[in-house]
Protein backbone atom coordinates (compact mmCIF):
# COMPACT_ATOMS: atom_id res chain seq x y z
CA UNK A 1 0.00 0.00 0.00
CA UNK A 2 1.27 3.43 -0.96
CA UNK A 3 -0.87 6.18 0.61
CA UNK A 4 -0.66 9.39 -1.37
CA UNK A 5 -3.11 12.19 -2.13
CA UNK A 6 -2.40 11.68 -5.82
CA UNK A 7 -4.52 8.51 -5.90
CA UNK A 8 -7.71 10.45 -5.18
CA UNK A 9 -6.96 13.42 -7.44
CA UNK A 10 -8.86 13.86 -10.67
CA UNK A 11 -7.32 13.22 -14.05
CA UNK A 12 -5.22 10.56 -15.69
CA UNK A 13 -2.36 8.51 -14.27
CA UNK A 14 -0.50 9.49 -17.45
CA UNK A 15 0.48 12.62 -15.47
CA UNK A 16 1.90 10.65 -12.55
CA UNK A 17 5.59 10.92 -13.59
CA UNK A 18 5.39 14.72 -13.83
CA UNK A 19 2.88 15.50 -11.05
CA UNK A 20 4.12 13.03 -8.41
CA UNK A 21 7.66 12.02 -9.43
CA UNK A 22 8.57 10.73 -5.96
CA UNK A 23 5.52 8.42 -5.99
CA UNK A 24 6.37 7.26 -9.51
CA UNK A 25 9.94 6.46 -8.42
CA UNK A 26 8.57 4.58 -5.40
CA UNK A 27 6.35 2.45 -7.67
CA UNK A 28 9.39 1.48 -9.74
CA UNK A 29 10.77 -0.25 -6.65
CA UNK A 30 7.70 -2.48 -6.29
CA UNK A 31 7.63 -5.97 -7.78
CA UNK A 32 4.07 -5.39 -8.97
CA UNK A 33 1.64 -2.47 -8.69
CA UNK A 34 -1.98 -3.66 -8.56
CA UNK A 35 -4.88 -1.42 -9.56
CA UNK A 36 -8.49 -2.46 -9.02
CA UNK A 37 -11.67 -1.07 -10.44
CA UNK A 38 -13.17 0.60 -13.48
CA UNK A 39 -12.17 4.15 -12.53
CA UNK A 40 -8.52 3.23 -11.94
CA UNK A 41 -8.46 1.35 -15.27
CA UNK A 42 -9.84 4.41 -17.02
CA UNK A 43 -7.27 6.65 -15.29
CA UNK A 44 -4.49 4.23 -16.32
CA UNK A 45 -5.59 4.33 -19.97
CA UNK A 46 -6.20 8.10 -19.97
CA UNK A 47 -9.95 7.39 -20.40
CA UNK A 48 -9.29 7.69 -24.13
CA UNK A 49 -11.08 6.24 -27.15
CA UNK A 50 -8.66 3.38 -27.92
CA UNK A 51 -9.19 0.62 -30.44
CA UNK A 52 -10.10 -2.41 -28.27
CA UNK A 53 -7.09 -4.32 -29.66
CA UNK A 54 -4.61 -1.63 -28.53
CA UNK A 55 -2.02 -3.32 -26.31
CA UNK A 56 -2.46 -2.51 -22.60
CA UNK A 57 1.22 -1.47 -22.40
CA UNK A 58 0.65 1.13 -25.11
CA UNK A 59 -2.52 2.50 -23.50
CA UNK A 60 -0.61 3.01 -20.23
CA UNK A 61 1.55 5.69 -21.84
CA UNK A 62 4.32 6.72 -19.42
CA UNK A 63 3.52 3.81 -17.07
CA UNK A 64 3.87 1.24 -19.87
CA UNK A 65 6.85 -0.28 -21.63
CA UNK A 66 10.19 1.01 -20.44
CA UNK A 67 8.71 2.77 -17.39
CA UNK A 68 10.18 0.41 -14.82
CA UNK A 69 6.69 -0.14 -13.33
CA UNK A 70 4.99 -3.56 -13.53
CA UNK A 71 1.22 -2.95 -13.57
CA UNK A 72 -1.63 -5.39 -13.00
CA UNK A 73 -5.15 -4.07 -13.45
CA UNK A 74 -8.29 -5.92 -12.32
CA UNK A 75 -11.40 -4.34 -13.76
CA UNK A 76 -15.09 -5.06 -14.15
CA UNK A 77 -16.15 -3.22 -17.31
CA UNK A 78 -18.56 -0.34 -16.66
CA UNK A 79 -17.56 2.05 -19.46
CA UNK A 80 -16.60 2.00 -23.15
CA UNK A 81 -12.84 2.18 -22.56
CA UNK A 82 -11.30 -1.24 -23.13
CA UNK A 83 -7.90 -2.30 -24.48
CA UNK A 84 -5.91 -5.49 -24.92
CA UNK A 85 -8.70 -7.56 -26.45
CA UNK A 86 -7.83 -10.20 -29.05
CA UNK A 87 -8.93 -9.32 -32.61
CA UNK A 88 -12.65 -10.00 -33.10
CA UNK A 89 -13.54 -10.23 -29.36
CA UNK A 90 -15.22 -6.80 -29.24
CA UNK A 91 -17.33 -7.70 -32.28
CA UNK A 92 -18.20 -11.07 -30.73
CA UNK A 93 -19.33 -9.44 -27.49
CA UNK A 94 -21.39 -6.84 -29.34
CA UNK A 95 -23.37 -9.72 -30.87
CA UNK A 96 -24.39 -11.05 -27.46
CA UNK A 97 -27.84 -10.09 -26.10
CA UNK A 98 -27.58 -6.49 -24.91
CA UNK A 99 -24.05 -6.22 -26.31
CA UNK A 100 -24.73 -3.31 -28.62
CA UNK A 101 -25.34 -5.05 -31.93
CA UNK A 102 -25.43 -2.68 -34.88
CA UNK A 103 -25.95 0.40 -32.70
CA UNK A 104 -22.25 1.24 -32.76
CA UNK A 105 -22.25 1.26 -28.95
CA UNK A 106 -20.08 -1.04 -26.86
CA UNK A 107 -23.01 -1.82 -24.52
CA UNK A 108 -21.50 -5.13 -23.39
CA UNK A 109 -18.93 -3.06 -21.46
CA UNK A 110 -21.45 -0.94 -19.54
CA UNK A 111 -23.12 -3.21 -17.00
CA UNK A 112 -20.37 -5.09 -15.15
CA UNK A 113 -21.03 -8.54 -16.63
CA UNK A 114 -17.58 -8.69 -18.24
CA UNK A 115 -14.15 -8.07 -16.77
CA UNK A 116 -10.55 -7.72 -17.91
CA UNK A 117 -7.32 -8.59 -16.16
CA UNK A 118 -4.41 -6.72 -17.76
CA UNK A 119 -0.67 -6.99 -17.12
CA UNK A 120 2.12 -4.72 -18.27
CA UNK A 121 5.70 -5.65 -17.58
CA UNK A 122 7.15 -2.16 -17.73
CA UNK A 123 10.79 -3.15 -17.39
CA UNK A 124 13.43 -0.60 -18.37
CA UNK A 125 13.91 -2.17 -21.85
Give the other-Cβ count within 10 Å of 116's Cβ: 16
Query: Rounded to two decimals, what is the model's pTM?
Result: 0.91
Residue whose C-alpha is closest to residue 93's, from 116, 120, 59 = 116
Average pLDDT of the residues in 30-59: 97
pLDDT grade for 124, boundaries at 50, 70 and 90: low
Q: Model confidence over 95-106: pLDDT tens digits?
A: 999 999 888 899
Distance CA 86, CA 68 (A): 25
Residues 6 or more apart in contact with residue 57 via CB below 8 angstroms: 64, 65, 120, 121, 122
Asked if pLDDT for residue 1 goes beyond 80, the answer is no
Q: Model confidence over 67-83: pLDDT tens digits?
A: 999 999 999 999 999 99
Amino acid sequence: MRPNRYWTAGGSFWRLPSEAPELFDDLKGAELVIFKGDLNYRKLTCDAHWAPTTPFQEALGPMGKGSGVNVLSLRTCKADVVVGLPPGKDEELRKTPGGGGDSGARRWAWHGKWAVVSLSEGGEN
